[in-house]
A and B are shown apart, each in its own frame.
Chain A
């Protein structure tokens, strides 16, 4: 299995802050990476796929970049509704997820 190492595991930030999450793959996954937001009791949401493509309807303050083994996810200006846990996921092989980053 391809292991996905995500950091930090949690962070606290203020409204308007720039938030950056990193994800490292144990082997080259080209750009086969997506990012999801999970909130308790709600359906997880796809935010970004193919490393940097913003999913339809997702606010432009969310962005992603990277290829190979190193990836970053950025919220340019944190909003109250962005509180939740974020996961990276690779789909180059049998899909695996990072451990998650709790944003509060």
Chain B
């Protein structure tokens, strides 16, 4: 059974880059489930999809964050990563990584990691 686990710093300073990693266990990131996403939950707000990476390395980002987001893949470590630049307090959130349920639809998410809280504060 595939499991995902987010890791990274809990606090990031304003204007810096937020960097998180999602480690996949119980299955290969190169398997038949090719889409790997980042999603966040800001306090008092709903969930927000950030973007996904295809197993080939192709990416697709939410237009509201495009220009600040970079998602990358490291198949040798069975990991994928999120970099979000020029952060502000509005980027404080629980960040989740998730896999697509199957190869047919990239944005039905299953399973998810349990999330990691990131605060943007000086």
Known: A43-B113, A44-B96. A100 touches B46 (CB 8 A): yes
Cβ contacts A56-96/B at 8 Å (1 or 0 each): 00000000000000000000000000000001010100111
Q: Known contacts A97-B47, A100-B46; is A34 also within 8 Å of B108 by CB?
A: yes
- B74 touches A (CB below 8 Å): no
When A46-B109, A46-B110, A49-B108 are in contact, do A94 and B46 touch as well, CB less than 8 Å?
A: no
Q: Please, how many angstroms separate the alpha-carbon atoms of A17 and B32 in the complex?
A: 40
Which one of A43, A55, A95, A97 contacts B114 once the chains associate, using CB atoms below 8 Å?
Answer: A43
B contact residues around A96 at 8 Å (CB): 49
Check if B111 sits within 8 Å of A43, measured CB to CB.
Answer: yes
Contact status A55-B110, CB under 8 Å? yes
Q: Is the CB of A97 within 8 A of B48?
A: yes
Q: Report the number of A-B residue pairs with Cβ-Cβ less than 8 Å.
A: 55
Q: Which label, helix, strand, loop or mixed, suits the secondary structure of the A interface?
A: loop
Interface extent on B, as a size class? 20 to 34
Say whether A43 contacts B46, CB under 8 Å: no
| Binary contact track A35-59/B, C-beta < 8 Å → 1, others 0 | 0101001111110010000010000
Bound Cα distance from A34 to B107, whole angstroms = 10
A89–B47 CB distance below 8 A: yes
The answer to whether A97 and B112 have CB atoms under 8 Å apart is no
Contacts of B62 in A (CB 8 A): 94
Contact residues in B for A95 (Cβ distance below 8 Å)? 49, 107
Asked if B48 and A43 make an inter-chain contact with CB atoms under 8 angstroms apart, the answer reads no
Question: A residues within 8 Å of B by Cβ?
Answer: 1, 34, 36, 38, 41-46, 49, 55, 87, 89, 91, 94-100
Rank and list the top 8 A-B pairs by shortest CB-CB distance, nearest first: A46-B110, A97-B47, A91-B107, A95-B107, A43-B112, A95-B49, A43-B114, A99-B46
